[in-house]
Amino acid sequence: MIADLQRVPVVGVWRLSEFIGKLFERERRFARLGVRGEVTNYKLQPNGNVYFDLKERDRLLNCVAFSAAAASFPALNNGDQIVAYGAVRTYEPRSSYQLRVSAVTTEGASGVLHQRYEALKKRLDAEGLFAPERRRPLPRFPFRVALVTSRTAEGGRDFITQARARAPQVAIRFVETPVQGEHAAAEIARAIARASAMRDIDLIVVARGGGSFEDMFAFSDERVVRALAASRIPTVSAIGHEADAPLTDFVADQRAATPSAAAQLLPKRDDLLQQLAVLRRALERDVERAVAVRRQRVDGLRRHLFAAGRERTGVMRDRLAGVERRLAAVAPAARLAQRRARFEELRDRLTRTVPSAMQRRAGRLEGGSNRLDTALARLIERGRARLQRIEAALGGNNPEAILQRGYAIVMDESGRPLLDAGAAPPGSRITAQLARGRLAARVEAEGSDGRRQIGLF
């Protein structure tokens, strides 16, 4: 095997690239060639240069037209079917080939995918799926987010990085799905349905980074759009694309230009802590006012009860005095004596019963007041306990608390946290943030793969 390899010629990348470039230049058929295809990824630069791809089935051809030639082109849009005339050449920095276009003729028909896109958009809009009044407000304080994307997609990683830096109190649950390919649309629709079925989710974010119109066409598939419209949980469409917005942008409750922009919709942890402190102070003031009002009411009822008792006693005494006068005026002495005895008995009974009845009512009133004070105290305690639990849950994600357990945050010269040893080549100045103070250091050895030691001093 080794002997066979020794007979194989070996060349450098530069020499091979030059050789291939010369082949294109020597081949006359590549010097003036017309290529038919569908325009995609069309970009007009400020200097007048034009970049686009020609697509046919699953193949793409990179095309460039410099400003002098592009000025004579007809108006081009993604999806246009054209014939581009030019020379096939290599793009040397990448050793790739491209068509350097000098002229363009249009064939008048839009691309198949763009035709499908526009027809579906029109039909779903007529059904009312894109109506603004369908859009629900996002939750003010989402604590659990379902992220529908691929674990290998850059968009998903961007969302997680931004979300953890801004809102570490938010728990992110991955709902894995491919985001491009022949079967991606069906998988994305099923992933959205799984996320919608979760009981402990506050928000669904469907994310993918940039790409061509064709790569992201799965997010304009009818199955995906209807799955997003049927979600019982508020949704965010975070599909980064500069030219053609996927149809998920029109049906989601909110659109974000990129996955990173979607992460900015989450409330900052520091803002939440400030709002909790304000709410706690307001709750304590409200409870204190409520206790004061109820105590005033209890005192008023107590005074009213005693006043009513005294008034009733006076009325009874007046009635007995009237009876005594009537008896003295109409009865003989024996009957008067009998009535007088009865009167004395009634007066004694009244004297014994009225004060005790008043005392019992006063006791019941006092008991009710005590129970009210106890209930209000329990209400205050439960409110404080709940605030403490929330503060404890948020405090668990406090970076300073993590530092107290012996960890450190390593930052580069600009103050950004280092996540990969390969980002700090030898000679770089770095800083280690400890629980108390900082250490300045210089990287002495390369450590890009995690198996070689980085020396600090």
pLDDT value of residue 2: 62
Q: Hey, which residues does 351 pair with through a beta bridge?
A: none
Residues 143 and 280 grouped into a single domain = no
Nearest alpha carbon to residue 201 among 240, 224, 172, 176? 172
> Is residue 46 predicted with pLDDT exceeding 90?
yes
Residues 200 and 221 grouped into a single domain = yes
Residues 90 and 150 grouped into a single domain = no
Residues 260 and 277 grouped into a single domain = no
pLDDT tens-digit profile of 168-178?
Answer: 999 999 999 99
Q: How many domains would you assign to the chain?
A: 4
Residues 121 and 263 grouped into a single domain = yes
Residues 134 and 263 grouped into a single domain = yes
Give the mean pLDDT of the chain: 83
Q: Give the residue numbers spanning the domain of 432.
A: 398-457
Neighbours of 149 (CB within 10 A): 28
Residues 391 and 434 grouped into a single domain = no
Which of 267, 282, 298 is the endpoint of a domain? 267
> Is residue 281 predicted with pLDDT exceeding 90?
no
Query: Do the Cβ atoms of 49 and 64 come closer than 8 Å?
Result: yes
> Is residue 323 predicted with pLDDT exceeding 70?
no
> Is residue 282 predicted with pLDDT exceeding 90?
no
CATH assignment at residue 235: 3.40.50.10550
> Is residue 329 predicted with pLDDT exceeding 70?
no
Which of 267, 285, 314 is the endpoint of a domain? 267
pLDDT category at 312 given cuts 50, 70, 90 is: confident
Residues 285 and 262 grouped into a single domain = no
Q: In this structure, what token pair is assigned to residue 146?
A: 């379902």
pLDDT (average), residues 326-351: 70
Which of 110, 139, 157 is the endpoint of a domain? 110
Q: Return d(Cα 176, Cα 146) in angstroms, integer.
A: 10
Query: Do the Cβ atoms of 136 and 196 come closer than 8 Å?
Result: no
pLDDT value of residue 110: 44
Q: What percent of the chain has pLDDT over 70?
A: 86
Residues 59 and 176 grouped into a single domain = no
Q: Return d(Cα 188, Cα 130) in angstroms, integer.
A: 19
pLDDT category at 161 given cuts 50, 70, 90 is: very high
pLDDT (average), residues 67-84: 88
* Sign of the CA dihedral running 84, 85, 90, 91: negative
Q: What global pTM score does this model have?
A: 0.46
CATH assignment at residue 102: 2.40.50.140
Residues 263 and 119 grouped into a single domain = yes
pLDDT value of residue 452: 46
Do the bridges between strand 50-56 and strand 429-433 make them parallel or antiparallel, or are there none, so unpaired? unpaired
Residues 385 and 275 grouped into a single domain = yes
Residues 148 and 223 grouped into a single domain = yes
> Is residue 302 predicted with pLDDT exceeding 70?
yes
